[in-house]
């Protein structure tokens, strides 16, 4: 769009190109907006593979832009002569990918990438032209360049060039940066073969071809090297989630094909990971129902569990892999941070009883796709698909590791409906939403009463619910124990059973010897699982065995370096010794790993509170209430106590009133009320609430009464009597007893 003239910038003494909007278009608001949008987009970028713009303005009623002057030809002109050799095609594509990466990182999607908009300079550089149809994300441009709307297109409107548009672009659906990667795939195909990727006699035929044709089907006679053909095919996937997820990953794959040595990611040098080491990234949910994310997460967990059972294979733990969920992280960085040689990416589309699973195994050092596969099955085949994927991966990494034909995936049920409900329960459990999790686990058990994993999920959910409030502690204790003991009947040697029994003792049983024994049995049966070390660290720390707890927590961090909860437990090792100021940096790190993880949030709030940073504590506890949508009285008690200690009695009274009002509708642990009453100076009420908490066996009361929030009433004889009763029930030498400071 526009007429381009060669000109000379007399001020700087350089040759430039001036693009002028013709008179016939200058009065059209759409054309004028396109012109200004292109100017704003290019002005926001500075990259050697993107045409530079020097100035924009208006003179004598004509809009113009001053750009760098290019000498050479468009890629379309070059393709008119012949196909381009593979190495040169990759070189050109690599430059396009690097330019796109720069644009995408600024929130700019080109939306009209085609050979006409790619320029080959006589100096050998490649430049991306014409951002007139660019889609600009909110905040993509500096404020002073955002004088008019930039979002671009209303749903259902198709913009672009037939034959190079992505399928989502053809359908007029919302799109993102991955649309440009499809267009680049079509260009690379054309450079390699001398033929366009999609064929049709009309524009309408071309649009249909983009939706239906597979240019890589039967790749005979095209002379595309197999490894390069896989890169092209990956760009041209119909679903955005099945393509390269960012331009830098594509550039990395192209660099690897060239035989270059990619620049290693920044950060500390780590040891060379073993060949048979892998991170399974969270599978992307491509289902029409966005709530089906529970299923894609569950598939990921099943593959992780299956591969973890292969002797000699090192698999990044679930929490570490899920730390990259929804993030656009380069596979090299992932491999570097998790210390693995390979990454498995995948996507799941679930529609009714139909299931499509697409996976690709990537070598993080070279960027090569070692293996990829697509499975189109029915839901009843889900367990077979999981086993096929796990077996294929193990075979590719180290065939000797798979010594038998026995299934690697042990589903625990043959009832697909029960399995689906169980995955929903696990999804809610991971979000620490125990009420919803319990509903799903109970439904799974109704579908298959012998489903051990569902019984364990039920036990763990009741344990957490009883701690955070909303169900009476005795009821939570009883229901959790019944569920865990049923799971033990079904799978007596499972590590998860022992861990679940240990959790029940931790929260409600108050038998620390039995708790420690069960958790150590879980570690013995699953030594590569960080969960056992995490809970053992809590068990030891609560008993005052701080040095042991610290060592165990280090082991947990080594196994799960990206787990917010485990990092928070390391912070607690300092808090056990009342070293609250030192704990704050560790707990901040934990919160940065997952801002929605409750345990790190309330732990950080306590550390702030005990250093006198009451405003920070209050903001942190308010964040905890927000995360849980106000459903957990535990956080309300912490917030009210912090307000009281900060001298904000009115706010504390308000939170206390809210909890008492809630107690008319659901169970509120008396301990949560006592945590507000004590610092408010309402000693008799606080002591009465603590005595009631003892009778109702509020979770972890035996440890929590030593929190400094109760220092104001600690010298009261009634408090001393309660502490003595608790010591007889759960003997412990607590490291957080008041020491007079």
Does residue 499 register a pLDDT over 90? yes
How confident is the model at residue 263, as a pLDDT?
Answer: 41
Given phi > 0 = left and psi -120 to 50 = alpha, else beta, which region is 73? beta
Which residue in the block uniquely carries the two structure tokens 């195994």?
361
Looking at the fold, whether 193 and 330 belong to one and the same domain comes out as no
User: Of 397, 407, 398, 253, which Cα lies nearest the Cα of 332?
Assistant: 253
| Spatial CB neighbours of 657, under 8 Å, sequence gap ≥ 6 | none
Looking at the fold, whether 25 and 92 belong to one and the same domain comes out as no
How confident is the model at residue 528, as a pLDDT?
Answer: 82
Query: What does the pLDDT look like over 76-111, one tens digit per residue?
Result: 999 988 888 898 999 999 999 999 988 888 888 998
CATH of the domain at 56: 3.30.200.20
| Spatial CB neighbours of 729, under 8 Å, sequence gap ≥ 6 | 510, 702
Does residue 526 register a pLDDT over 80? yes
Does residue 55 register a pLDDT over 80? no
Query: What does the pLDDT look like over 690-700, one tens digit per residue?
Result: 999 999 988 88
CATH of the domain at 245: 1.10.510.10
Domain membership flag for residue 674: yes
Domain membership flag for residue 272: no
Average model confidence (pLDDT) for the chain? 83
User: Measured between alpha carbons, how far is 570 from 556 in angstroms, rounded to an integer?
Assistant: 9
CA 464 to chain centre: 23
The answer to whether residues 295 and 423 touch, using CB atoms and an 8 Å cutoff, is yes
Domain boundary among 224, 258, 292: 258
Number of domains the chain contains: 4
User: Measured between alpha carbons, how far is 139 from 175 in angstroms, rounded to an integer?
Assistant: 17
Per DSSP, the residues of 597-664 read -HHHHHHHHHHHHHTT-HHHHHHHHHHHHHHTTT--HHHHHHHHHHHHHTT-HHHHHHHHHHHHHHTT
User: Measured between alpha carbons, how far is 536 from 495 in angstroms, rounded to an integer?
Assistant: 14
| pLDDT confidence bin for 703, thresholds 50/70/90 | confident
User: Measured between alpha carbons, how far is 658 from 640 in angstroms, rounded to an integer?
Assistant: 10
- Which of 453-457, 540-544, 552-556 has maximum average pLDDT? 453-457
Percent of the chain with pLDDT over 90: 35
Domain boundary among 258, 286, 311: 258
Does residue 207 register a pLDDT over 70? yes
User: Measured between alpha carbons, how far is 630 from 598 in angstroms, rounded to an integer?
Assistant: 12
The answer to whether residues 28 and 2 touch, using CB atoms and an 8 Å cutoff, is no
Domain membership flag for residue 673: yes
Domain boundary among 258, 291, 309: 258
Domain membership flag for residue 545: no
Looking at the fold, whether 164 and 249 belong to one and the same domain comes out as yes
Looking at the fold, whether 377 and 235 belong to one and the same domain comes out as no
Does residue 623 register a pLDDT over 60? yes
How confident is the model at residue 164, as a pLDDT?
Answer: 93
Pick the residue with more confidence: 449 or 172?
A: 449
The answer to whether residues 607 and 583 touch, using CB atoms and an 8 Å cutoff, is yes
| pLDDT confidence bin for 40, thresholds 50/70/90 | low
User: Of 348, 414, 356, 350, which Cα lies nearest the Cα of 380?
Assistant: 414
CATH of the domain at 371: 3.40.50.10070
Looking at the fold, whether 40 and 83 belong to one and the same domain comes out as no
Pairing of strands 354-363, 314-315: unpaired
Per DSSP, the residues of 34-75 read HHHHHHHHHHT---TTB--EEEEEEETTEEEEEEE---EEEH
Rounded to 5 degrees, φ, ψ at 723 are -60, -35
User: Measured between alpha carbons, how far is 741 from 734 in angstroms, rounded to an integer?
Assistant: 16
How confident is the model at residue 268, as a pLDDT?
Answer: 37
Domain membership flag for residue 557: no
Looking at the fold, whether 146 and 168 belong to one and the same domain comes out as yes
Percent of the chain with pLDDT over 70: 86
User: Of 599, 607, 576, which Cα lies nearest the Cα of 734?
Assistant: 576
How confident is the model at residue 197, as a pLDDT?
Answer: 93
Domain membership flag for residue 439: no
Tokens encoding 641: 């106590």
Mean pLDDT over 412-425 rounds to 90
Looking at the fold, whether 155 and 239 belong to one and the same domain comes out as yes
Does residue 148 register a pLDDT over 70? no
**Domain of 172, in residue numbers:** 72-258
User: Measured between alpha carbons, how far is 209 from 205 in angstroms, rounded to an integer?
Assistant: 6
Does residue 397 register a pLDDT over 90? no
The answer to whether residues 710 and 682 touch, using CB atoms and an 8 Å cutoff, is no
Domain membership flag for residue 268: no
- Give the active site residues: 112
**CA-CA distances (angstroms) from residue 56 to 27, 38, 134, 643, 729?**
18, 10, 17, 56, 79
| pLDDT confidence bin for 486, thresholds 50/70/90 | very high
How confident is the model at residue 74, as a pLDDT?
Answer: 93
User: Measured between alpha carbons, how far is 211 from 59 in angstroms, rounded to an integer?
Assistant: 45
Looking at the fold, whether 229 and 161 belong to one and the same domain comes out as yes
| pLDDT confidence bin for 563, thresholds 50/70/90 | confident
The answer to whether residues 535 and 502 touch, using CB atoms and an 8 Å cutoff, is yes
Looking at the fold, whether 220 and 287 belong to one and the same domain comes out as no
Looking at the fold, whether 352 and 373 belong to one and the same domain comes out as yes
Looking at the fold, whether 297 and 393 belong to one and the same domain comes out as yes
Mean pLDDT over 597-613 rounds to 91
| Spatial CB neighbours of 164, under 8 Å, sequence gap ≥ 6 | 112, 113, 114, 183, 186, 187
User: Of 320, 193, 176, 192, which Cα lies nearest the Cα of 247?
Assistant: 176
**Sign of the dihedral through C-alpha 20, 25, 29, 34:** negative
Looking at the fold, whether 230 and 90 belong to one and the same domain comes out as yes
Q: How many CB atoms lie within 10 A of CB 588?
A: 15
Domain membership flag for residue 354: yes
User: Measured between alpha carbons, how far is 27 from 657 in angstroms, rounded to an integer?
Assistant: 65
Query: What does the pLDDT look like over 242-301, one tens digit per residue?
Result: 888 889 889 888 887 876 433 433 333 344 455 678 899 999 888 877 778 888 888 898
CA 49 to chain centre: 31
Range in 162-176, 178-192, 284-298, 459-473 with the lowest mean pLDDT: 284-298
């Amino acid at each position: 769009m526009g007429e381009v003239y060669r000109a000379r910038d007399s001020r700087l003494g350089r040759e430039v190109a001036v693009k002028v909007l013709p008179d016939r278009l200058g009065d059209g608001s759409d054309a004028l907006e396109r012109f200004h949008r292109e100017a704003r987009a290019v002005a926001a970028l500075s990259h050697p593979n993107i045409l530079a713009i020097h100035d924009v303005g208006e003179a004598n009623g004509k809009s113009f832009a001053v750009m760098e002057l290019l000498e050479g030809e468009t890629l379309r002109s070059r393709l008119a002569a012949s196909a381009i050799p593979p190495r040169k095609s990759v070189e050109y594509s690599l430059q396009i990918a690097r330019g796109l990466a720069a644009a995408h990182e600024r929130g700019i999607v080109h939306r009209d990438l085609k050979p006409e908009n790619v320029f080959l300079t006589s100096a050998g550089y490649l430049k991306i032209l014409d951002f007139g149809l660019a889609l600009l994300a909110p905040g993509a441009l500096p404020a002073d360049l955002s004088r008019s709307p930039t979002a671009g297109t209303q749903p259902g409107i198709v913009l672009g060039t037939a034959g190079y548009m992505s399928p989502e672009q053809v359908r007029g659906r919302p799109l993102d940066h991955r649309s440009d990667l499809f267009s680049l795939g079509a260009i690379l195909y054309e450079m390699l073969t001398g033929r366009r990727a999609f064929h049709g006699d009309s524009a309408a035929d071309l649009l249909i071809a983009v939706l239906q044709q597979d240019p890589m089907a039967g790749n005979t006679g095209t002379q595309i090297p197999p490894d390069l053909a896989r890169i092209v095919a990956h760009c041209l996937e119909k679903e955005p989630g099945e393509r390269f997820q960012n331009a830098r990953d594509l550039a990395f794959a192209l660099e690897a094909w060239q035989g270059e040595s990619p620049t290693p990611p920044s950060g500390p040098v780590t040891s060379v990971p073993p060949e048979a080491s892998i991170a399974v990234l969270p599978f992307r949910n491509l289902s029409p129902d966005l709530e089906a994310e529970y299923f894609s997460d569950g598939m990921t967990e099943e593959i992780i569990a299956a591969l973890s059972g292969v002797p000699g294979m090192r698999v990044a733990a679930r929490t570490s892999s899920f730390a990259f969920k929804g993030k656009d992280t380069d596979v090299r960085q992932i491999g570097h941070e998790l210390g693995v040689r390979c990454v498995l990416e995948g996507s799941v589309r679930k529609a009714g009883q139909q299931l499509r699973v697409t996976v690709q195994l990537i070598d993080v050092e070279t960027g090569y796709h070692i293996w990829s596969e697509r499975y189109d099955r029915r839901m009843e085949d889900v367990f077979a698909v999981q086993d096929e994927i796990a077996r294929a991966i193990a075979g590719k990494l180290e065939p000797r590791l798979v010594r038998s034909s026995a299934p690697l995936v042990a589903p625990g049920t043959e009832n697909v409906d029960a399995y689906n409900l169980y995955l929903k329960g696990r999804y809610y459990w991971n979000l620490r939403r125990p009420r919803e999790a319990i509903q799903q686990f109970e439904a799974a058990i109704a579908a298959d009463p012998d489903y051990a994993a569902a019984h364990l999920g039920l036990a763990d959910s009741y344990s957490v619910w009883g701690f955070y409030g909303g169900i009476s502690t005795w009821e939570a204790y009883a229901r959790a124990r019944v569920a865990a003991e049923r799971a033990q009947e079904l799978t007596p040697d499972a590590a998860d059973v022992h861990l679940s029994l240990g959790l029940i003792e931790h929260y409600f049983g108050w038998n620390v010897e039995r708790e420690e024994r069960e958790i150590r049995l879980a570690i013995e049966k699953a030594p590569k699982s960080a969960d056992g070390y995490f809970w053992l660290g809590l068990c030891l720390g609560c008993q005052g065995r701080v040095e042991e707890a610290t060592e165990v927590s280090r082991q947990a961090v080594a196994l799960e370096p990206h787990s917010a909860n485990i990092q928070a437990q390391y912070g607690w090792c300092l808090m056990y010794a009342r070293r609250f100021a030192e704990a704050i940096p560790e707990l901040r790190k934990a919160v940065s790993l997952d801002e929605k993880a409750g345990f790190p949030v309330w732990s950080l709030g306590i550390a702030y509170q005990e250093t006198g940073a009451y405003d920070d504590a209050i903001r942190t506890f308010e964040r905890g209430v927000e995360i849980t949508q106000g459903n957990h009285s535990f956080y309300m008690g912490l917030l009210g106590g912090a307000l009281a200690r900060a001298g904000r009695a009115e706010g504390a009274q308000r939170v206390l009133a809210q909890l008492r009002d809630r107690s008319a509708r659901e169970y509120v642990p008396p301990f949560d009320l006592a945590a507000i009453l004590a610092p408010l100076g309402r000693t008799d009420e606080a002591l009465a609430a603590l005595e009631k908490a003892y009778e109702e066996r509020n979770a972890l009361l035996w440890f929590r009464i030593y929190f400094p929030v109760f220092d104001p009433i600690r010298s009261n004889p009634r408090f001393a009597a309660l502490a003595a009763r608790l010591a007889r029930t759960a003997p412990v030498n607590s490291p957080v007893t008041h020491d007079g400071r």
